[in-house]
Amino acid sequence: MKFHWFFKKNKQPIPNYYKEYQKSFLKTNKLSISNTRFVVFDTETTGFSVKKDRVLSIGAITLINTTIKVNDTFEVFVKQAVFKAETVPIHGILKDGSIEKITELDALKQFLKYIDTAVLVGHHIGFDVNMINEILKRNNLPKLLNKTVDTGYLYKKSKHSIYQNEEKHYTLDNLCDELNISKSDRHTATGDAYITAIAFLKIMTRLNKNNDLQLRDLLMN
């Protein structure tokens, strides 16, 4: 007798918090930009390796109909399983500081509940999304389902269509300088999310000169 079942990988059941997140996407309808909920978010991390580094904090803010909802923000700090002292001068987050920290899993649960079906916006958002997806992977869960917008790509597009494929890498500092945005609270997750939200609005204004900007013109996926 062959016991093939013995060698099959046991799949863990999907937890309820992720099922609720998935379920939300079944009832979404196509919306205009003015009716779309955008969540601008940023992560502070121990480094730039998606596999080896970890998220230290997540900051996010909601934007609807060109209005930044300053009373609808999200911020969590994560207990550090990986600590790199050399990065502290950048993000200012100490391993055992006075800031209240939660587990990576609790941070994930709260983040999924906050973003719901929103379109996610970030500067070079691919990195931040990949860091969240790694947390999901470590918990045996599928990737994020949300559509995304990259302000780095949009900025190139706003300059002129011929610049879309230019090789220059525009940092968030570059956007602050070129769009006249204050750099206060730079290199905190919530501060960078707020700065990115302002940049996003200014870039959309540039792109919408003919009042024909569509949601599909913004999306990366």
Q: Write out pLDDT tens, residues 120-168.
A: 999 999 999 999 999 999 999 999 999 999 999 999 888 764 445 566 7
Question: Does residue 4 belong to any structural domain of this protein?
Answer: no
Number of domains making up the chain: 1
Go through 155-188 and write b for each residue having 16 or more CB atoms within 10 A of its CB, e for each that does not: bbbbeeeeeeeeeeebebeebbeebebeeeeebb
Q: What percent of the chain has pLDDT over 90?
A: 61
Q: What is the mean pLDDT of the chain?
A: 86
pLDDT of 89 > 70? The answer is: no
Question: Does residue 5 belong to any structural domain of this protein?
Answer: no
Q: What's the pLDDT band for 96 if we cut at 50, 70, 90? A: low
Q: What is the pLDDT of residue 94?
A: 46
Question: Does residue 201 belong to any structural domain of this protein?
Answer: yes
| Domain that residue 208 falls in | 33-217
Question: Does residue 98 belong to any structural domain of this protein?
Answer: yes
Q: How many CB atoms lie under 10 A from the CB of residue 98? A: 5
Q: Can you tell me the mean pLDDT for 189-200?
A: 94
Q: What is the pLDDT of residue 221?
A: 74
Q: Write out pLDDT tens, residues 64-87.
A: 999 999 999 999 999 886 666 555
Q: In what order do the strands lie in the sheet with 37-45?
A: 67-77, 55-64, 37-45, 119-122, 148-150
pTM of the model: 0.86
Question: Does residue 15 belong to any structural domain of this protein?
Answer: no
User: Tokens at residue 168, please?
Assistant: 């220059």
Question: Does residue 194 belong to any structural domain of this protein?
Answer: yes
- The CATH number of whichever domain residue 99 belongs to comes to 3.30.420.10
Question: Does residue 28 belong to any structural domain of this protein?
Answer: no
Question: Does residue 3 belong to any structural domain of this protein?
Answer: no
